[in-house]
Amino acid sequence: AVAASLLTLVFGTLLAPGEAVAPGVVLLIGGVALLAAGIALIELVLRMLLAQAVDRDAEAGRMQAELEEVI
């Protein structure tokens, strides 16, 4: 998603200086680049949350084992 965002941004930058493409099209390409960057950010946050949940699950398993030893 990051690569797609960067490629789209570069494509829009290359089209911007010329008169061959309307400014609205360049703006739309920039919007698509921002959308791809947002998707990449959401993926990063979800991956971090998943890693945190796995760590807490392992910690809960260790605590459950300690509790079973005490009981």
Q: pLDDT tens digits for 38-68?
A: 999 999 999 999 999 999 999 999 999 999 8
Q: Which residue has the higher pLDDT, 39 or 15?
A: 39
- Average pLDDT for the chain: 91
Contact by Cβ (8 Å): 64, 43? no
Residues 53 and 31: their CA atoms lie apart, in Å, by 33
Question: CA 23 from chain center: how many Å?
Answer: 28
Residues 23 and 31: their CA atoms lie apart, in Å, by 12
Global confidence as pTM: 0.71
pLDDT band at 20 (very low <50, low <70, confident <90, very high): confident
At 26, which amino acid appears? Answer: V
